Amino acid sequence: MDLPFFKKKDVIALDIGSSSIKLVKLNQAKKGWEMEKLGIAYLPPEAIVDGSIIDSMSITGAITSLIKENAIKVKDTVSSLTGHSVIIKKVSMPAMTEEELSESIQWEAEQYIPFPMTDVNIDFQILGEDTEGRGQMDVMLVAVKKEVINDYVNVIKEAGLNPVIIDVDSFALENMMELNYTFAPDENVAMVNIGASITSISIIAGGVTVFTRSIPMGGNQYTEEIQRNFNISFKEAEDIKLGKESGSMEPVELSSVMNAVSTNLTMEVKRSVDFFLGGSPGVVINKIFLSGGGAKTKGLAELMQESTAIPVEVVNPFIGVAYDPKEFDEEYLKEMAPYFGVAVGLATRRLGDR
């Protein structure tokens, strides 16, 4: 129960990505959400590889400087994981209450998870009765390797913070969407979060995530292809990709290298969407929302729209967040919007919410 005079404890959200850490703190006011803090700290390329923490020192260091720069006092931290360390599966189980499932989840989940139960943390969300009405229900199962959770928990603790929730990127995006957009009950959208090393694809139907998949490619693929084709360093290739440096190559050559990667990425998204639609007859996807820094890739949204025949839009996680324009620069927020999709979603989580 939510008593209005017991304000829930504030948290800070840290989206620890492989290229940068995004920090957001939102205040839950009577009128709605207000922006209190926003920051980003870039990480060296080898700090996180394949979703695993390799260089915990630089991550802790980056978190510590973000906390300091933004004068953060709150310790409770919400963070998230993505990629192959997270297994999300929609499964069918005998209908039961949430309480009953809490008690039997280890046993029920065992057959679906390819790791020993002792190695993973399990969570779930009941999606409702399945359509065949045979006393079964659909459940979203989430399993994360304890080893990976521990690594993330440790870097947060070493920065002097208190990790209270470790979420999953796709679910954070679902919360971000709920905060910023309204949909008709029969509207379905695909979320495509293009990070530096991982792209996660999920489908939100009737406000609930019903499908997720992650693919090990993202912004780094563009940089690596530029690096390989023009025989330059990763750093130079990244700067050229971001338009910070012009490089000596012909612009047409550069865009043909970029387009090849965009085509691959688009094909992967299309495959996921088609796979989902194949198992859900009569369902349509009304829109694809892009987030993550990779959403800013020139020409990508247009290409995706053309090849999927679904409207594509880049998300703005700040629509539903009030902010003081004297404190937060509007142009900067517009520029950085896709980066902060996950972090804004995490920032709306409060301990005790389900």
Ligand X SMILES: Nc1ncnc2c1ncn2[C@@H]1O[C@H](COP(=O)(O)OP(=O)(O)OP(=O)(O)O)[C@@H](O)[C@H]1O
Interacting residue ranges for ligand X, rule: CB under 6 A: 17-20, 82, 195-198, 218-220, 238, 241-242, 292-294, 296-297, 339
Minimum distance from CB of 232 to ligand X (Å)? 15
Q: What is the C-alpha to C-alpha distance for residues 23 and 20, in angstroms, rounded to an integer?
A: 10
Q: What token pair was written down for 307?
A: 């090849």
Our CB check for Mg ion shows the closer of 17 and 338 to be 17
Q: Is 140 helix (H, G, I), strand (E, B) or coil?
A: strand
Our CB check for Mg ion shows the closer of 195 and 338 to be 195
Per partner kind, with CB cut-offs from 5 to 8 A, the member of Mg ion, ligand X, none near residue 219 is ligand X
Q: How distant is the alpha carbon of residue 200 from its chain centre? A: 7
Per partner kind, with CB cut-offs from 5 to 8 A, the member of Mg ion, ligand X, none near residue 293 is ligand X
If we measure between CA atoms, which residue out of 124, 121, 167 comes closest to residue 348? 167
- CB of 125 closer than 8 Å to CB of 91: no
Minimum distance from CB of 55 to ligand X (Å)? 14
Minimum distance from CB of 117 to ligand X (Å)? 27
DSSP 8-state class, residue 348: T
Per partner kind, with CB cut-offs from 5 to 8 A, the member of Mg ion, ligand X, none near residue 163 is none
Q: Is 159 helix (H, G, I), strand (E, B) or coil?
A: coil
Per partner kind, with CB cut-offs from 5 to 8 A, the member of Mg ion, ligand X, none near residue 218 is ligand X
Per partner kind, with CB cut-offs from 5 to 8 A, the member of ligand X, Mg ion, none near residue 241 is ligand X
Name the strands in the sheet holding 199-205, side by side, starting at the edge strand that comes first in the sequence: 208-215, 199-205, 188-194, 287-291, 312-314
Per partner kind, with CB cut-offs from 5 to 8 A, the member of ligand X, Mg ion, none near residue 297 is ligand X
Q: What token pair was written down for 205?
A: 């139907």
The tally of CA atoms less than 13 A away on the side-chain side of residue 230 is 28
Name, in order, each residue with C-beta under 8 angstroms of 302's C-beta and a sequence gap of 6 or more: 312
Minimum distance from CB of 214 to ligand X (Å)? 9
Q: What is the C-alpha to C-alpha distance for residues 45 and 56, in angstroms, rounded to an integer?
A: 13
DSSP-based helix, strand, coil % in the chain, nearest 5: 40, 30, 30
Q: Residue 77 CB: number of other CB atoms within 10 A?
A: 24
Per partner kind, with CB cut-offs from 5 to 8 A, the member of ligand X, Mg ion, none near residue 18 is ligand X
Our CB check for ligand X shows the closer of 60 and 220 to be 220
Our CB check for ligand X shows the closer of 53 and 198 to be 198
Our CB check for Mg ion shows the closer of 196 and 257 to be 196
Minimum distance from CB of 187 to ligand X (Å)? 25
Minimum distance from CB of 227 to Mg ion (Å)? 21
Q: What token pair was written down for 24?
A: 């957001």
Per partner kind, with CB cut-offs from 5 to 8 A, the member of ligand X, Mg ion, none near residue 181 is none
Minimum distance from CB of 212 to ligand X (Å)? 14
Chain residues in the site for Mg ion (CB under 5 A) = 17, 195
Our CB check for ligand X shows the closer of 87 and 139 to be 87
Our CB check for Mg ion shows the closer of 163 and 293 to be 293
Question: Which helix (H) or strand (E) element contains residue 68?
Answer: helix 56-69
Our CB check for Mg ion shows the closer of 140 and 196 to be 196
Minimum distance from CB of 72 to ligand X (Å)? 20
- CB of 349 closer than 8 Å to CB of 13: yes
DSSP calls for 139-176: EEEEEEEHHHHHHHHHHHHHTT-EEEEEEEHHHHHHHH
